[in-house]
């Protein structure tokens, strides 16, 4: 009996070992499943560390800086043109023609905010008259007038940024005396010697010819330091003109239409009102 008990004990022990071996084998065959990864947080940025660069934001910022610098450059040139003589302005642009491009780029940007352009009214006036009229555009800029009418136009300015433009001091043009039918000053009576521009226009204009002057309205606002428009017209008429009409309807500019008398005696010592500088605001 004792021997039988020992044999049973050994058989039981072998069965338990066999089961343990099978269990260990199954555990080894099962794949090891790692616990799910937790989302990692980005490292905290020091308060003294600059933010990561954003290419779009950086580009927009640089564009704004360029616009501001360009606007400041334009205003600086604009103020210079209103406070120096025509000859000084001509020499300035002659030394650095790129300044003229900077000025006109800024000028066009300023004009884009105006609801109506005076040059367009003058274009319409010319198109309503004979295309045989010869025109001199003093201070033509990009020669917009010449490009939009059928008339022969002498485009005159301080710098020739177009092959058709005559570059000169507007008080001394190469035009012949009594050679044009219409003289235009469209926002171009700049400079401390603006009366000499009008005297030169009088020289080149034929008897019974037209003188059209468009200027920034604030320059003819006596309540805010501008010239009295009646005194300006009186001075022009002493050159030998008749005021046909004046257009004060636009809030941005005024427009005068003069006609030269057929015979007029030269008046000396004309008292010209001071036209204040037109300084554009920072936008």
For 69, the enclosing helix (H) or strand (E) is helix 55-82
**Structural domain includes residue 181:** yes
**Structural domain includes residue 31:** no
Give the Cα separation of 127 and 114 in Å (integer). Answer: 22
Q: What CATH number should be reported for the domain holding residue 147?
A: 3.40.50.150
Closest CA to 210 of 180, 170, 171, 239: 180
**Structural domain includes residue 130:** yes
Range of the domain at 210: 116-260
**Structural domain includes residue 199:** yes
Token pair for residue 260? 């030269």
Would you say the pTM of this structure is higher than 0.75?
no
**Structural domain includes residue 220:** yes
**Structural domain includes residue 149:** yes
**Structural domain includes residue 120:** yes
pLDDT tens for the chain, 283 residues long, are 545 555 555 555 555 555 555 444 444 444 454 455 555 555 565 555 555 556 665 555 444 444 444 557 777 888 888 889 888 988 888 888 888 888 878 888 888 889 999 999 999 999 999 999 999 999 999 899 999 999 999 999 998 878 899 999 999 999 999 999 999 999 999 989 999 999 999 999 999 999 999 999 999 999 989 999 999 999 999 999 999 999 988 999 999 999 999 987 777 889 999 998 876 655 5
pLDDT at 56: 62
Domain count within the chain: 1
Give the Cα separation of 153 and 143 in Å (integer). Answer: 9
**Structural domain includes residue 138:** yes
């Amino acid at each position: 009996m004792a021997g039988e008990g020992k044999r049973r004990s050994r058989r039981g022990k072998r069965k338990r070992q066999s089961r343990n071996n099978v269990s260990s084998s199954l555990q080894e065959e099962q794949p090891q499943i790692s616990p799910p990864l937790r989302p990692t947080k980005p490292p905290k940025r020091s308060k003294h560390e600059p933010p990561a660069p954003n290419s779009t934001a950086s580009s927009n910022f640089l564009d704004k800086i360029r616009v501001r610098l360009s606007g400041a450059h334009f205003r600086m040139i604009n103020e210079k043109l209103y406070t120096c003589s025509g000859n000084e302005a001509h020499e300035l642009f002659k030394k650095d023609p790129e300044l003229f491009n900077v000025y006109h780029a800024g000028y066009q940007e300023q004009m884009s905010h105006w609801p109506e352009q005076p040059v367009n009214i003058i274009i319409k006036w010319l198109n309503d008259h004979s295309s045989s009229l010869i025109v001199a555009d003093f201070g033509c800029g990009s020669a917009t007038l010449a490009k939009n009418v059928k008339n022969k136009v002498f485009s005159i300015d301080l710098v020739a940024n177009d092959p058709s433009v005559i570059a000169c001091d507007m008080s001394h043009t190469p035009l012949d005396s009594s050679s044009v039918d219409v003289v235009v000053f469209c926002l171009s009576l700049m400079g401390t010697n603006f009366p000499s521009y009008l005297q030169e226009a009088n020289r080149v204009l034929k008897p019974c010819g037209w003188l059209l002057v468009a200027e920034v309205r604030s320059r003819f606002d006596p309540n805010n330091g501008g010239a009295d428009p009646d005194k300006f017209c009186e001075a022009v008429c002493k050159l030998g003109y008749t005021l046909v009409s004046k257009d004060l309807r636009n809030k941005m500019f005024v427009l005068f239409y003069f006609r030269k008398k057929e015979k007029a005696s030269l008046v000396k010592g004309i008292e010209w009102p001071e036209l204040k500088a037109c300084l554009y605001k920072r936008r």
